[in-house]
Amino acid sequence: MYVILIYDINTEKNQKVLSKVFKICKKYLFHVQKSVFEGELTKSQLFKLKKELENTIRKDVDSIIIFKSRNEKWLSKDFLGKSETSTDNLL
Amino acid sequence: MYVILIYDINTEKNQKVLSKVFKICKKYLFHVQKSVFEGELTKSQLFKLKKELENTIRKDVDSIIIFKSRNEKWLSKDFLGKSETSTDNLL
């Protein structure tokens, strides 16, 4: 299935959580914009990704949305302005 | 078609662009996370939305991604951590 993941990580209290979340996402998905990742995952890969993220984020202040489409062909993508950001752009 | 819009607006130079982009998106879509909107749009609505955004953002520093799916049924959504943010949460 094709996955789009967007995170909103609170950096006021702890900067480390953001970099941990970024590194976890980069193991599974492609980084396309500051807090946006996308890519093809199997069910078990998605399960592992979610487990790692759940063990990292703070449920009361951080937020992650995962959109799933059964097939990448059913999704198209437009960019306005600056397109692919360099993947080492952490924040 | 079903649309997921994610923006990354540079606020170092000008804060007003972010609030303008937020207001434009809110006219057409539902706010689901800090910089994420989603909703059903017709082709002409999407065309208008893109025009308004293109006239607002700075092409060299701001970035907007628009994912489109022909049918909302082909997309499912998971939340980890904090779910729907209050829609007046601008930044």
In chain B, the domains with their CATH numbers are 2-69 (3.30.70.240)
pLDDT at A89: 46
pLDDT tens-digit map of B45-68? 999 999 999 999 999 999 999 999
Helices (H), chain B: 15-28, 43-54
Question: pLDDT averaged over chain A?
Answer: 89
Torsions phi, psi for B2 (to 5 deg): -95, 135
With H, G, I as helix, E, B as strand and everything else as coil, classify residue A89. Answer: coil
Query: Is B81 in contact with A69 (Cβ distance < 8 A)?
Result: no
Mean pLDDT for the stretch of residues A11-23: 91
Gap from B36 CA to chain A (nearest CA, Å)? 8
Write the CA distances from A5 to A35, B44, B55, B78, integer angstroms. Answer: 8, 27, 27, 9
Query: How much is the pLDDT for A91?
Result: 46
Residue A60: Cβ within 10 Å count: 9
From A26's Cα to the closest Cα of chain B, the distance in A is 17
